[in-house]
Structure 1
Amino acid sequence: MVTQEKLLHNISQIPQVNIGHFPTPLEECPRLSEALGGPHIYIKREDCSGLAIGGNKVRQLTFTIGDAVHQGADTIVHGAASQSNHCRQAAAACSKLGLKCYLRLARDHKSIVQGNLLLDHLAGADVEVVDVPFGPELEEYKLKFAEKLEADGLKPYVVTFPRSTALAAVAFTWCVAEIHEQQNQIGIDADWIYASSVGGTQAGLVLGTKALGMKLKTYACAPILWEGKIERICGAANSAADILNLDTRVIESDILNTDDYIGKAYGYLTPECIAALKLVASTEGILLDPVYTGKAMACLIDHIREGRLDSNDTVIFLHTGGTPALFAY
């Protein structure tokens, strides 16, 4: 276990860039709590992180692009699904920092120039939608594309696994330190944090709470089926611990993650997600998204209605952003 001061000191030693608005708010949601008749609910507003409508990837890119700049890169290469929040925020970060940005996005059922894809173009990125499946094949495509850029005299940095996931975990260890301080300020000691994640976000939350000795447990809702996700999350957490020079180790039993709310496939709406979007907007004026946070909130709502959480519990819901995707759906 480490102190908050020691954890923040270790985080400060990692290369980073100043691109976001931190700390993000921790907002009480009394009308949502009342509507559900369950626990005290707070929302950690990563959607308020600034930079092209915000989101959790701003915090992650603080370290990913910090790593790129530290290595002397002048160009960022990224790619994911066509409505990727990560790519949108990477494009915005590059425009803010004067870096070139190349996005190679997988063609899918939402490859329309609206939502995040529209914002990619507005941010000035070089965007191409390619006929390569989202996943390992696209990661390989990105690496080969970067080789061409390097041959042309650029210094590209590819945002890809496993380095990007480990740095994402570093970022959300930092987020836990923020939550720890905010809890002390407002006088709460939450029992659970719910989030949408299948990688670095959950890894950092689990590592941070374990390192600080907090009782806060993380329950994550996967947005996509990902083989070996528990091993991957553990690996990212422990890689982040190494980067941060922490003795803390995360084991597989620390990882609570469900596939039950994905629906048909990644990026497809579910009735439960739509209901969650409407409930949070109509009770708190907070907009969730149709791919990640809407499904994670549907999970939280079910757990309350099933009696797994009650009025004696305090829950933090991590709003990871993604709001622009509403306009593509």
Structure 2
Amino acid sequence: MTQDNKLDRFPRAQFMSGPTPLERLDRLSSELGIDLWLKRDDLTGLGFGGNKTRQLEFYFGDALQKGADTILITGAVQSNFVRSAAAAAAKLGMQSVLQLEERVSDMGKAYYSSGNVLLAQILGAEHMTYPEGEDEVGADAALHARADELKAQGRKPYVIHLGLNHPPLGALGYFVAGQELCQQMPDVDAIVVPSGSGATHGGLLTGVALEENTASVFGVCVRRDSEKQMARMKTVLQKLADLLDIDAAPLHDRLNVMDEALPPGYGKLSGGTRAALDKMARTEGIFLDPVYTAKTFAGLLHLVSEGKIQPGQKVVMVHTGGLPALFGYQNELASDLS
């Protein structure tokens, strides 16, 4: 069975206009002694772009097949996922309910009013809040409670779940991306990607593996330490393998996560993360976000310094977008500059 055939039974909304480009980073390649490329998934187009567009194609495909008219989703205050979901809903004439969780402490006013929050307001989304940031089951339950209220009003809600006890439909989008990347660059040696919910990392690893590409796939932890993330990724890979009717064991054998760039925690900037963000901007003119891609690039720099990425290797970093969050972090970024 081909990869395309494996996806035939999953309904899919069309948000992607085509493959995202691979861009060589000439100056950084020279500086680091590697052949460094960026997979520009910040350029997916819909609602400021980003990696979530790929995932939402499969969630919205399922929602449309089930006749839904309202999407409910949960995430951090500056979540790219909820902003992208609101954009997708607007494009399809649906309503969106965005639940914002308190995951990052001690943030300034801009964090709650700018960036993704502002964009979601412009998109006309309904907002609700959840007081905890590490309670996926509770956050999903709160969405279902709101969905029940909407049903009583005659609406047809569809919940995009956060918890691990649901099929990772969004990971199918990065299964496609793994196939796409291998077709663009079959001789890639290493791929570096952020690892948070696990859908992007797990889908990409699965797509690469089923293309019989031997590249190392490094997942850079952005939310949990490597031990907790490894356990989460095994669950994601197993559930994705079940969806695709494949064996998960070879995927587990290729699983690689690292947490050196994680401190001081999710959504928090360290000196190394800030340095990585500045280096990319000042060397290549490309912006990274504080939550995902700056940590990913910091992880890549660590892999080079430790020799886990070797001189001359062809390396692709996945740029997952998230750029609106830069404006939500303006107080933290500006204070560093001063």
> TM-score under structure 2 normalisation?
0.89
> Who is 1:206 aligned against?
205
Q: Alignment partner of 2:298: what SS?
A: helix
Q: Any unmatched runs of 5+ in structure 2?
A: 330-338
> Who is 1:106 aligned against?
101
* Deviation for aligned residue 1:51: 0.9
Separation of aligned partners in 2, 1:276 and 1:182: 26
Structure 2 counterparts to residues 1-329 of structure 1, below 5 A: 6-36=2-32, 38-107=33-102, 108-109=104-105, 110=107, 111-136=111-136, 137-160=138-161, 161-162=163-164, 166-184=168-186, 189-198=187-196, 199-225=198-224, 228-247=228-247, 249-329=249-329
Q: Is the 8 A contact 1:80 1:104 kept in 2?
A: yes
Separation of aligned partners in 2, 1:129 and 1:248: 36
Q: Aligned partner of 1:89: which letter? A: S
How has the CA–CA distance of structure 1 residues 286 and 197 changed in structure 2, closer, same or farther, with 3 Å as cutoff?
Answer: same
Q: Aligned partner of 2:181: which letter? A: I
Q: Deviations over 1:11-56 (max 9, x none)?
A: 24420101233211111111111122x2101111110001111110
Q: Aligned partner of 1:314: which letter? A: K
Q: Alignment partner of 1:80: what SS?
A: strand
How has the CA–CA distance of structure 1 residues 165 and 175 changed in structure 2, closer, same or farther, with 3 Å as cutoff?
Answer: farther
Q: Alignment partner of 1:167: what SS?
A: coil
Separation of aligned partners in 2, 1:274 and 1:164: 35
* Deviation for aligned residue 1:249: 4.3
Q: Any unmatched runs of 5+ in structure 1?
A: none
Separation of aligned partners in 2, 1:323 and 1:297: 15
Separation of aligned partners in 2, 1:302 and 1:236: 26
Identity of aligned residues (%): 35
* Deviation for aligned residue 1:248: 5.8
Q: Is the 8 A contact 1:211 1:248 kept in 2?
A: no
Q: Deviations over 1:237-276 (max 9, x none)?
A: 2332332344564453321112221212211111111111
Q: Is the 8 A contact 1:194 1:220 kept in 2?
A: yes
Query: For this pair of structures, how many residues does the alignment match?
Result: 320
How has the CA–CA distance of structure 1 residues 253 and 181 changed in structure 2, closer, same or farther, with 3 Å as cutoff?
Answer: closer
Q: Is the 8 A contact 1:210 1:248 kept in 2?
A: no
* Deviation for aligned residue 1:76: 0.4
> TM-score under structure 1 normalisation?
0.91
Q: Is the 8 A contact 1:47 1:54 kept in 2?
A: yes
Separation of aligned partners in 2, 1:74 and 1:24: 29
How has the CA–CA distance of structure 1 residues 116 and 190 changed in structure 2, closer, same or farther, with 3 Å as cutoff?
Answer: same
How has the CA–CA distance of structure 1 residues 165 and 271 changed in structure 2, closer, same or farther, with 3 Å as cutoff?
Answer: farther
Q: Alignment partner of 2:47: what SS?
A: coil
Backbone CA RMSD of aligned residues: 2.0
* Deviation for aligned residue 1:323: 0.6
Q: Aligned partner of 1:25: which letter? A: P
Separation of aligned partners in 1, 2:131 and 2:185: 46
Separation of aligned partners in 2, 1:165 and 1:255: 19
Q: Is the 8 A contact 1:191 1:215 kept in 2?
A: yes
Q: Aligned partner of 2:142: which letter? A: Y
* Deviation for aligned residue 1:163: 7.0
